Structure 1
Amino acid sequence: MELIKSAITDGRYITNSCMLVHLKMVVTAMYSGYRVLDTIKYMKNKEDTGDLVNDSAALSFATPLKRSRTTVCTARKRIFSSELQCALEKLESVVGDMNEFVILLAGCERISQKPYDTYIYIDNFMFGRHVEKQHLINFLLENNIAGPPPVLPIIGGRGVGKRTLVTHVCNDERVSSQFNFILHINGANLGQITENGNLSARTLVIVEFFSDVDDNDWKKFYSHVTNLSRENKVIILTTIEKLERFGTVKPMTLNRLVYEEYRYLFKTLAFGSTDPVDHPQLIPIVEEFAELLEGRLIPANILADVLRKNLNVHFWLCKLRQVQITAKKNMTMSGAHPHKLFDQGHPAHFTGYILSPPTIITPNVPQNDLPQLRFGDLLTGHIFPPNGDFKLISWESRIPPYTSFVHTARFCLSLSQDQPESPLTPPVHNLRATYLSHKECIIH
């Protein structure tokens, strides 16, 4: 496992497509391996805490319900045995080719590690996406062939980390030195690119689309980018698959993290600097959370921040039960998990409140006068929300353009009643330009 981890974190520029395919296999095997190690290490605690997790349905953690555990434990052991065997076979297959891979990796140019890189790895870090990061770097560093600027669509669901990936890559020294200017544009405001006179120098244009765009509007925009400089490059960020029609190269698709990788991330976030060995009963609860959250990054950060401040098994079980009740209530009333309701633009129920889908808010944009609360405070019960509408901040990005994900929330006397007569309408984006540095600009 250490050999695999060191190969991944060594920091090399990989341009060979076959090596990138192998790297993806290595990454998958590594996180499967970590799950195997935890399963073996915490097997007894997994069984004991598993009983508490099941018994939590009665919301009684101090006196678990009495029931026969023989059949359940036997079934669990069979499942564990099958999972272990499968993961071990993957590890053996990958490790067998590791020596050759490490030798080839040593021939790749090393990525310089700056203090900022170390800092963001510890806290404001981009987790995983090793292969996608290399693909994007290769695209940006490749010399343009004769013709109009290349366009790379990056397509993925809401909150999978598209903007984080691009920002992380743009912080790479080789990428930042490749372009004189980095321009961020809201896709609803393509026409404003004509107001920017800096594109005569080599520019990376990053366009984020929240809805489809007329082909003629895109053609005008792309023609302007081309006329200014054929050394420019364009990246499209969107959740809309059909916008890949504007790409000139194969689109990059960002999916949610697979379970093993997501579980590892959630465990890392939830324990922080604390050694999980000191709290073995919490490891199985991590797995329950990872399954319930379905690979979502923002809920992982919200919950992990709350759990990290109280490493008590009963507190964790209480929060787990809260998430279970929320998921079940929305499934019963709307037929979908709350995350999927948000993805579809529908409100969802949460502990006595109805929440609108999150709206992405950029800095310096005027907001309404509704009270603001943080999701983590609502989870811990440290605050008493107002009876009227209020804004619930689920996440504040730590990377430019420092956007916030904000819900409009409304108190509901009974979760069994219908949705409010007036739908919760997300605030409208005001479009304006924000300059992050001498070479980076955002047009919202």
Structure 2
Amino acid sequence: MNVSICFSGLDLLFRVCAPGGLQHRRKVSIMKYCTCRVAYNVLGILFLQCSLIDKAEWRIHEGRVAELLPNLKDAVNDADDLLDEFRWYELKMEVEGNASHSAFIDFYKTTVQGSFNKVNDIQERLNSISGQLEKMGLYGVTPGFDKSVRPDTTPFPNEKKIFGRDKDQKEVMGFLGVPQSKGRACSKRKRASSAVNASTSTSAWNQISNESRIPSIPVLPIVGMGGVGKTTLAQYICNHQQVKDYFELIIWICADNFDVKRLIKDAIQSASGKWTMLDHLASLQHALSHSVSNKRFLIVVDDVWDDALKENEQRWKDFYDSLTNVVQGSMMLVTTRFPDVADRVRTMEPFPLDGLKEDVFWDFFKLCAFGSANSRNDPELERIGKGIVPKLKGSPLAAKTLGRLLGMNLHTTHWNNILESELWKLKQEKTDILPALRLSYIYLPFHLKRCFSFCALYAKDHKFEKGHLAEIWVAEGFVEPQGDIPLDDIGHQYFEDLVNSSFFQEVCGTYIIHDLLHDMAKLVSGHDCFTIRNMRD
């Protein structure tokens, strides 16, 4: 593909429009024509280059492709911005008429005339990058879904029920001191000396909760690899009726970026429902202590990374010191991928969460891929599936995302392509992005990739509203027109497509992105997104 072909024949028209060549009105008319031609050809460039981006992402594991892809995206984004300028000046001239001619002529000169203009710059960059990628063989047809073979009636797994974690859930609830049903005593485990006997009745607890205090809050870490289900387990525990009956207050905060002040503010908001404008550490610590005073509470600190241990663990100490002299029975539950973090923050033995057991995991995988645990109707797909399952390392998240990807095309060719993908050979890095998640991403259509990667701008655990996010996608130009269908409706369908592919999870009427998928969104958006967390950024 030679991008310069898209601009052939325009140079002559540009020269005709030079100052003094024609009367003013005639000149502007021809400039409009030229601008429309340029806009039309830029649209053609975008279509071709977006297709090339889609193909390049299939080989992102190759070093040279990984180097060129951000540059290609930058050039395409510049072309997209140029189209936005075209549209803006077009609307401006419709509204203002002759009054806007001068501004339009200036825009025209900087865009399509002279040796240093935007069109030439974009053209040269795209020619160079696309030429290098084509030499590497990136001009084939991108594998994709045949939506016609997708089973219309296949239900997805019931998200309201945790799968294969009943025993883990009961054990963790016992370690938190939650009274067991039918009077069973909680599990025996080493814990802080301040911990109390879980066999004590709830009514007795309510009687002494305002009288008995402990100097510091006990900390129980749940530790396991990314995607194994730590956050999901913690969520189900928090929503268990016995837990809600036992704790007077449940606080949930996400700690992927361990900014002590932000975390304390989030905890205060979770506890009181009000956002604080305080910014002094001591004042924030006092405010949090006041928010939980006289209440037996559970605080969940989700997704703690090793940055909590920086500055000689001072970050963690500053946060932990906010929760002193608490009502007896209060507990902190921490989830982390890092055993060292779990060992340093704990006051009781960490709870290790491993992948699902082999037989349970296989049933879950079949449920995700086929809509039921029964796959006897296609033994060949079952054979291929059994080759894929060991690569998922018992991760429910990997089974869910890849299982749904496989379920969208029940042809053996599609399943074999997944099984034999080179992405399985990638080493997992610090971010612990599973190859299964990368596969699920690269199989998305280009328009859904853009919408999903855009979400890297938001913080982890951000609660998305479908309508609001769809409006933003429309405003960003990510939503492609489809006849007379309103763009907002198309944006809503994009969102539903991502939900059905497990890129969003529904929680109490809003939606969140799993922390590993959020990591992947940041990885694939790479050079495209910059997130401002505070003014120092």
TM score, norm. by length of structure 2: 0.44
Q: Does 2:312 match 1:202? A: no
Shift of the 292–241 alpha-carbon distance from structure 1 to 2, 3 Å rule, reads closer
Task: Indicate the residue corresponding to 2:234 in structure 1.
Answer: 166
Task: Indicate the residue corresponding to 1:235 in structure 2.
Answer: 333
Q: 1:179, 1:203 within 8 Å by CA — same for their partners in 2?
A: yes
Task: Indicate the residue corresponding to 1:179 in structure 2.
Answer: 247
Shift of 1:222: 2.2
Letter in 2 for 1:140: L
Task: Indicate the residue corresponding to 1:127 in structure 2.
Answer: 163
Shift of the 424–330 alpha-carbon distance from structure 1 to 2, 3 Å rule, reads farther
Distance 2:371 2:217 in 1: 43
Distance 2:529 2:337 in 1: 18
Task: Indicate the residue corresponding to 1:304 in structure 2.
Answer: 403
- The residue matched to 1:141 in structure 2 has which SS? coil
Distance 1:274 1:170 in 2: 28
Task: Indicate the residue corresponding to 2:322 in structure 1.
Answer: 224
- The residue matched to 1:291 in structure 2 has which SS? helix
Task: Indicate the residue corresponding to 1:16 in structure 2.
Answer: none
Q: Deviations over 1:129-159 (max 9, x none)?
A: 2332122110223583455321101111111
Shift of 1:171: 1.9
Letter in 2 for 1:363: K
Q: 5 Å matches for 1:308-319?
A: 308-310=407-409, 312=410, 315=411, 317-319=412-414
- The partner residue of 2:225 within 147, 157, 160 is 157
Shift of the 324–281 alpha-carbon distance from structure 1 to 2, 3 Å rule, reads closer
Distance 2:375 2:231 in 1: 31
Letter in 1 for 2:163: F
- The residue matched to 2:356 in structure 1 has which SS? coil
Q: 5 Å matches for 1:362-441?
A: 362-364=462-464, 395-399=503-507, 402-404=511-513, 405-406=517-518, 407-408=520-521, 423-424=526-527, 428=531
Shift of 1:340: 5.2
- The partner residue of 1:285 within 365, 384, 397 is 384
Distance 2:502 2:529 in 1: 14
Distance 2:169 2:386 in 1: 27
Q: Deviations over 1:74-109 (max 9, x none)?
A: xxxxxxxxxxxxxxxxxxxxxxxxxxxxxxxxxxxx
Shift of the 410–222 alpha-carbon distance from structure 1 to 2, 3 Å rule, reads closer
Distance 1:140 1:243 in 2: 19
Percent identical pairs in the alignment equals 22
Distance 1:158 1:371 in 2: 33
Shift of 1:286: 2.2
Distance 1:371 1:157 in 2: 37
Shift of the 217–291 alpha-carbon distance from structure 1 to 2, 3 Å rule, reads closer
Distance 1:410 1:138 in 2: 38
Q: Deviations over 1:179-213 (max 9, x none)?
A: 11111123323332434453111111111213421
Letter in 2 for 1:219: K
- The residue matched to 1:398 in structure 2 has which SS? strand
Distance 2:381 2:167 in 1: 31
Structure scoring higher RCO (CA < 8 A, sep ≥ 6) equals 1
Shift of the 123–167 alpha-carbon distance from structure 1 to 2, 3 Å rule, reads closer
- The residue matched to 2:329 in structure 1 has which SS? coil
Distance 1:254 1:371 in 2: 42
Bigger Cα Rg = 2
Q: 1:155, 1:239 within 8 Å by CA — same for their partners in 2?
A: yes
Residue ranges of structure 2 left out of the alignment (5+ in a row): 1-142, 144-155, 180-194, 197-213, 268-283, 480-489, 491-497
Shift of the 396–364 alpha-carbon distance from structure 1 to 2, 3 Å rule, reads closer
Q: 2:222, 2:335 within 8 Å by CA — same for their partners in 1?
A: yes
Distance 1:233 1:277 in 2: 46
Q: CA RMSD in A?
A: 4.3
Q: Deviations over 1:52-76 (max 9, x none)?
A: xxxxxxx9xxxxxxxxxxxxxxxxx
Distance 2:178 2:443 in 1: 51
Q: 5 Å matches for 1:38-53?
A: none
Task: Indicate the residue corresponding to 1:190 in structure 2.
Answer: 263
Q: 2:227, 2:398 within 8 Å by CA — same for their partners in 1?
A: no
- The residue matched to 1:185 in structure 2 has which SS? strand
Shift of 1:258: 3.9
Distance 1:204 1:226 in 2: 14
- The residue matched to 1:204 in structure 2 has which SS? strand
Distance 1:142 1:274 in 2: 33
Shift of 1:229: 3.2
Q: 5 Å matches for 1:227-376?
A: 227-244=325-342, 245-273=344-372, 275-310=374-409, 312=410, 315=411, 317-326=412-421, 328=422, 331=425, 336-337=426-427, 343=432, 350=442, 360=460, 362-364=462-464
Distance 1:164 1:410 in 2: 23
Shift of 1:294: 3.1
Shift of the 423–190 alpha-carbon distance from structure 1 to 2, 3 Å rule, reads closer
Task: Indicate the residue corresponding to 1:30 in structure 2.
Answer: none
Distance 1:362 1:290 in 2: 31
Distance 2:423 2:314 in 1: 45
Shift of the 322–267 alpha-carbon distance from structure 1 to 2, 3 Å rule, reads same
- The residue matched to 2:324 in structure 1 has which SS? helix
TM score, norm. by length of structure 1: 0.52
Distance 2:243 2:175 in 1: 10
Shift of the 344–275 alpha-carbon distance from structure 1 to 2, 3 Å rule, reads closer
